[in-house]
Amino acid sequence: MRFLMYEVGASASTPPSPALMAEMGKLVEETTKAGILLATGGLGANSTRVRSSSGRVAVTDGPFTETKELTGGFALVEVKTKEEAIEWAKRFRKIVGDGESVVQEVFGG
Amino acid sequence: MLQSTAVTAADAHRAIDAVWRIESPRLIAGLTRIVRDVGLAEDLAQDALVAAVEQWTESGVPDNPGAWLMATAKHRAVDRLRRDERLDRKHAEIGRELEAAQKMATPVPESGDFGDDLLRLVFIVCHPVLSTEARVALTLRLLGGLTTEEIARAFLVPEPTVAQRIVRAKRTLTAAHVPFEVPAAGDLEARLESVLGVIYLVFNEGYSATAGDDWMRPALCLDALRLGRLVAELLPREPETHGLVALMEIQASRTRARVGPAGEPILLLDQNRGQWDQLLIRRGLVALDRAEALGGALGPYALQAAIAACHARARTAAETDWAQIAALYDALAQLAHSPVVELNRAVAYGMAFGPAAGLELADALISEPSLKSYHLLPSVRGDLLAKLGRSDEARSEFERGASLTRNARERQLLLERAAACPPESTV
- When scoring A84, A86, A107 by the number of chain B Cβ atoms within 10 A, the one with the most, hence best to mutate, is A84
pLDDT value, residue B89: 62
Domains and CATH numbers, chain A: 2-106 (3.30.70.1060)
Return the SS3 of B177: coil
For residues B60 and B12, the answer to whether their CB atoms sit within 8 Å is yes
For chain B, positions 95-114, list CB contacts with chain A under 8 A.
Answer: 111-112
Q: What pLDDT is recorded for position B331?
A: 97
**pLDDT tier for residue A67 given thresholds of 50, 70 and 90:** low
Nearest CA in chain A to B254: A109
> What residues of chain A, 46 to 105, have a C-beta less than 8 Å from chain B?
76, 78-81, 83-84, 86-88, 94
Q: Which residues of B touch A33 (CB under 8 A)?
A: 115, 229-230, 233-234
* Residue B210 banded pLDDT, cuts 50, 70, 90: low
Domain residue spans of chain B: 1-108, 321-427
Overall average pLDDT of the B376-404 stretch: 95
Cβ neighbours, 10 Å, residue A56: 7
The whole-angstrom separation of Cα B331 and Cα B425 is 42
B65-76 pLDDT, tens digit each: 999 999 999 999
Mean local confidence (pLDDT), B175-192: 91
pLDDT tens readout for residues B127-162:
999 999 999 999 999 999 999 999 998 888 999 999
> Which of B20, B21, B281, B286 is the best substitution to test chain A (most A C-beta atoms within 10 A)?
B21
B275 touches chain A (CB under 8 A): no
Specify the 3-state DSSP secondary structure of B365.
coil
pLDDT in tens, B220-243: 999 999 999 999 999 999 999 999
Pairing mode of beta strands A100-106, A37-42: unpaired
pLDDT tops 90 at residue A103:
yes
Mean pLDDT, chain B, rounded, equals 89
B46 or B259, which is more confident: B46
Query: Do residue A84 and residue B112 have CB atoms under 8 angstroms apart?
Result: no
Question: Within a 13 Å sphere around the CA of B137, how many CA atoms are in the beta-carbon half?
Answer: 25
pLDDT band at B111 (very low <50, low <70, confident <90, very high): very low
pLDDT-based confidence at residue B82 (cuts at 50, 70, 90): confident
C-alpha torsion B224→B225→B231→B235, nearest 10:
140
pLDDT at residue B246, as a whole number: 98
pLDDT at B44: 95
**Mean pLDDT of the region A44-63:** 88
Q: Is the ipTM of this complex over 0.90?
A: no
Cβ atoms within 10 Å, residue B23: 24
Per-residue confidence band for B276, with pLDDT thresholds at 50, 70 and 90: very high
Longest Cα–Cα distance in chain A: 48
pLDDT of residue B4: 42
Q: Which amino acid is at B140?
A: L
Chain A residue with CA closest to B23: the answer is A34
For B61, the closest chain A residue by CA position comes to A87
Fold of B321-427: 1.25.40
Q: How confident is the model at residue B101 (pLDDT cuts 50, 70, 90)?
A: low
B-facing residues of A in 6-45 (CB < 8 A) are 26, 29-30, 32-36, 38-39
Higher pLDDT, B17 or B107: B17
Q: What is the pTM of this model?
A: 0.88
